[in-house]
Amino acid sequence: MKSSGENESLSIGALGERFGLATHVLRHWEVMGLLTPVRDAAGRRRYRTADLTRVALILRAKEAGLSLDTIRSLAATAEPAVRRDILRHEAETLRSRIAAAQASLELIECALDCDHEDFTQCSHFRQMVADRIGTGVAVHAPA
């Protein structure tokens, strides 16, 4: 796509190649309402600069962990307050996933650092498991 003309456009194959995407992905995004390419006289999709920007935005949002439905909701509203509400919800969901991943990592690191031959017999490990269950009472090893 040359920067000299506003009417310059890319085919679906060229756009897919530019972003490393299969053409079926771009077609799916179109069905979902995320992309709306113009059509040439033969009915072929043609992607312009605004479409490239939209693809880059979709990819960045997916990298941030947003679903296509969420991306569509964000793109569909012109209301900044609605966008902020959507993003606040996504941020809270992400915080919860991070907390769960952190707890999992702590449990794994506890097992890795354990001096016991069988880490499941370690009182510290058992306490961490009990804390995850929510009892707060350490599970004791059978005698």
Q: What is the pLDDT of residue 142?
A: 52
Q: What is the pLDDT of residue 122?
A: 82
**Helix or strand holding residue 30 (H, E):** helix 23-31
User: For residue 97, how many C-alpha atoms fall within 13 Å in the half-sphere facing its CB?
Assistant: 9
Q: What is the pLDDT of residue 126?
A: 82
Q: What is the pLDDT of residue 3?
A: 44
**Helix or strand holding residue 95 (H, E):** helix 80-113
**What does the pLDDT profile of the chain (143 residues) look like in tens digits?**
544 455 689 999 999 999 999 999 999 999 999 999 999 999 999 999 999 999 999 999 999 999 999 999 999 999 999 999 999 999 999 999 999 999 889 888 888 888 888 888 888 778 877 887 876 555 555 54
Backbone angles phi, psi at 82, to 5 degrees: -65, -45
Q: What is the pLDDT of residue 6?
A: 55
Domains of the chain and any CATH numbers = 1-76 (1.10.1660.10)
Backbone angles phi, psi at 10, to 5 degrees: -115, 150
Listed in sequence order, the residues at least 6 apart from 19 whose beta carbon sits closer than 8 Å to its beta carbon are 55, 56, 59
**Helix or strand holding residue 38 (H, E):** strand 38-39
Q: What is the pLDDT of residue 4?
A: 46
Backbone angles phi, psi at 28, to 5 degrees: -60, -45
**Cα 103 to Cα 114: distance, rounded to the nearest angstrom:** 17
Q: What is the pLDDT of residue 140?
A: 56
- What is the pTM assigned to this prediction? 0.70
Which among 9, 36, 8, 11 has a CA at the least distance from the CA of 23? 11
